[in-house]
Amino acid sequence: MAGEKRAGILMAGTDRTQPMNFDPAPAIILCEPQLGENIGTAARAMANFGLWDLRLVAPRDGWPNDKARAAASRADHVVDRIRVFDTLAEAIADLSLVYATTARRRELAHEVIGPDEAARRLARHIGSAQRAGMVFGREKWGLYNEEVALCDAIVTLPVDPAFASLNIAQAVLVTAYEWRRETTQAALPVSSPAASLASKDELRGMYLQLEEALDRSGFFKTPEKRPTFIINLRTMLGKAGFSDQEVRTLRGILAALDRRHLYDKPGRGLPRRGRGKASDE
Amino acid sequence: MAGEKRAGILMAGTDRTQPMNFDPAPAIILCEPQLGENIGTAARAMANFGLWDLRLVAPRDGWPNDKARAAASRADHVVDRIRVFDTLAEAIADLSLVYATTARRRELAHEVIGPDEAARRLARHIGSAQRAGMVFGREKWGLYNEEVALCDAIVTLPVDPAFASLNIAQAVLVTAYEWRRETTQAALPVSSPAASLASKDELRGMYLQLEEALDRSGFFKTPEKRPTFIINLRTMLGKAGFSDQEVRTLRGILAALDRRHLYDKPGRGLPRRGRGKASDE
């Protein structure tokens, strides 16, 4: 398992017993990418979120590309399936819904949508057994208008206009993330521990134990403030949402602290309120 | 403006007349980052989505770091403000809501949420003038349990379990994207062209013009099929959602095509249906 710790912050979460995911998903088309690193990191970002169909239009340094494979951090199931085309028209020939990603304002009359809306539409389209894809432009100047015109709509990311420069792989990552969020209802690979909240009766037992312990300790100097204080105390502790196990732990802690008072002080005969069974009695 | 084409697919969208964004936003805390590149690309990802408070806990190669600045692609307003701390506890001392990002299943009882839910909670917290942050672990092995225990909940990304290895900057990017999506209601820097859909009357004029042109051209070999065909034709063209300008363009095209028939054929005496004014008559 040591090998799994090699490459990324979240590497430890990779489960190599899971089969690679080739469910129907949008194709990602990179138009004339210049840097192999960008192809590789785009492939990795796709694999993170369940995409696998990567297509390149006239990559500057040809294909295959060692730098791309290195940067893909073992997303080999994506890299091995990369297909290369001469033109964008050929690369999207089999698709019936294609979005162009761009941040540039254009004179085209294309509708502009965000990656969340794009993911919803892609999911509907692919859910009805049709093929779809998203096109990403060149590192230096994006897509030509002629290329955008081949697509059905423009997807742009909600970046800060003061700093809109986004790396290709990062643009791919956000759109892939939205695709997965949409199609898995944001299913997380790690879930919250099975929530077993303490019952109201378990909580009440703990509150009574605590309150009796406070009584014995001489905490309430002015008894008339006790009722309000106890309401506030129960409200405060209730917010934590303790589990039944945590209540047991807290009652053990209370018992240990309370015992100290039993030994230290003669206060055990103080007047009682509430019906709870105090520990050790 | 040539300089704006330098660094990224979406570079052309950067508007340098916009002031840098220092609105209240979550701090990003990187725990013992090893590679300067990751610090820089994380800073760039933050800047893309309006974050600016980056804190480092004991970066391996010290600080400042030239590789970090180079990788930040001019996100200098973030890099210049980076603060370095010896421990995570010091780095988060002024924050009252802190999430730990991790993909590893842990024995801790922490709640696990996705980046979208995290963004909603961070927005509420910061909206009520409180400070918050998100902690990211080491490239190789993430966060120690003792560090996660300093945080309020765990954020994990909905990655494909079969390929969960995510680079730190990419994890930062997704959480920053969700922050901005939540706090700007996904406002896009580029919007759809002002929609000025053609009125029903403008569309009807075009349909009639087309139908008369088809009549003249001898298109309807079997006149009894004409009514159904015309309904289907209008439905089909209606789906495109033409603007008034597009209708004018299409009518010009129609007129040009129709004129050819006027000259080529003796069909101009064919029976008319509808009241539309045919062009050139």
A214-267: per-residue pLDDT in tens?
Answer: 888 888 888 898 888 888 888 878 877 888 888 988 888 888 777 765 665 554
More confident residue, B93 or B277: B93
Does residue B188 register a pLDDT over 80? no
A167: which residues sit within 8 A by CB, 6+ positions away? A38, A41, B8, B9, B41, B44, B73
Residue count (chain A): 281
Among the ranges given (B9-13, B49-53, B144-148), the one the predictor scored with the smallest mean pLDDT: B9-13
How far is the C-alpha of B228 from the C-alpha of B230, rounded, in Å?
5
pLDDT band at B65 (very low <50, low <70, confident <90, very high): very high
Residues on chain A touching B111 (C-beta within 8 angstroms):
192
Chain B residues with beta carbon closer than 8 angstroms to that of A157: 10, 48, 177, 188
Q: What is the DSSP string of B12-70?
A: GG--TTSPP---S--EEEEES---HHHHHHHHHHHHHTT---EEEES-TT-SS-HHHHH
pLDDT surpassing 90 at residue B277 = no
Residues in A touching B148 (Cβ below 8 Å) = none
Tell me: pLDDT of B1 over 70: no
Cα distances from B84 to residues A9, B56, B61, in angstroms, run 20, 5, 12
CB contact under 8 A, A160 and B193: no
Q: What is the pTM of this model?
A: 0.74
pLDDT tens profile B66-105: 999 999 999 999 999 999 999 999 999 998 999 999 877 6
Say whether residue B112 is in contact with chain A using an 8 A CB cutoff. Answer: yes
Spatial distance between the Cα atoms of B192 and B189, rounded to a whole number of angstroms? 10
Interchain CB distance below 8 Å, A173 and B171: no
Buried b (16+ CB within 10 A) or exposed e, A62-87: eeebeebbebbbbbebbbeebeebee
pLDDT at B201: 87
Q: What is the pLDDT of residue B189?
A: 74
Mean pLDDT in chain B? 83
Distance from CA of A213 to the nearest CA of B (A): 27
Shortest distance, CA B227 to any CA of chain A (angstroms): 30
The Cα–Cα gap between B30 and B42 comes to: 9
Q: For A142, left (φ over 0), alpha (ψ -120 to 50), or beta?
A: left
The distance of A206 to chain B (nearest Cα, Å) reads 20
Whether residue A112 and residue B15 make contact (CB cut-off 8 A), yes or no, is no
Burial code (b: 16+ CB inside 10 Å, e: under 16) for A228-240 equals: eebeeeeeebeee
Give the SS3 label for residue A183. helix
Give the C-alpha separation, A111 to B48, whole Å: 23
Min distance A267 CA to chain B CA atoms (Å): 37
- The pLDDT tens digits of the residues spanning A59-107 come to 999 999 999 999 999 999 999 999 999 999 999 999 899 999 987 767 6
What is the predicted pLDDT for the residue at A260?
62
A1 at the B interface (CB within 8 A)?
A: no
Residue A207 in this model has a pLDDT that exceeds 70: yes
* Residue predicted with more confidence, A82 or B198: A82
CB contact under 8 A, A11 and B157: no
Instruction: Among B166, B191, B246, pick the best mutation site for testing chain A contact (most A Cβ within 10 A).
Output: B166
Interface test with A, best of B9, B48, B144, B178 (most A CBs within 10 A): B9
CB proximity B159 to A under 8 Å:
yes
pLDDT for res B269: 45
Considering chain B, what percentage of its residues have pLDDT values greater than 70? 84
The size of chain B, in residues, is: 281
- Alpha-carbon gap, residue B8 to B6, rounded angstroms: 6
pLDDT per residue as tens digits for the range B212-265:
888 888 888 888 988 988 888 888 788 778 888 889 888 888 887 777 656 655
User: Which residues have a Cβ under 8 Å from the Cβ of A65 and sit 6 or more positions away?
Assistant: A36, A39, A40, A59
Q: How far apart are CA B136 and CA B239, in angstroms?
A: 48
Say how far apart CA B229 and CA B138 lie, in whole Å: 66
Residues sharing a CB contact under 8 Å with residue A278, sequence separation 6 or more, in sequence order: A209, A212, A213, A216, A258
At which residue do the structure tokens 């520990």 appear? A279
Sign of CA dihedral B183, B186, B191, B196: negative
At residue A183, what is the residue type? T
Q: Which of residues 213-272 of A touch B (CB under 8 A)?
A: 243, 246
CA distance B189 to B195: 17
Q: Which residues of B touch A23 (CB under 8 A)?
A: none
Number of H helices, E strands in chain A: 10, 7
Bridge-partner residues for B98, per DSSP? B133
Q: What is the pLDDT of residue A265?
A: 53
| Whether A172 contacts chain B with CB within 8 A | no
Give the whole-angstrom CA distance, residue A77 versus residue B9. 25
pLDDT at B53: 97
pLDDT at A2: 34
Classify residue A189 as left (phi > 0), alpha (psi -120 to 50) or beta. alpha
Helices (H) and strands (E) in chain B, counts: 10, 7
Q: What pLDDT, on the 0 to 100 scale, is given for residue B175?
A: 96
> Quick one: which of B46, B74, B61 has its CA closest to B133?
B46
* Residues contacting residue A75 through CB under 8 Å, at least 6 positions apart: A40, A43, A44, A46, A47, B163
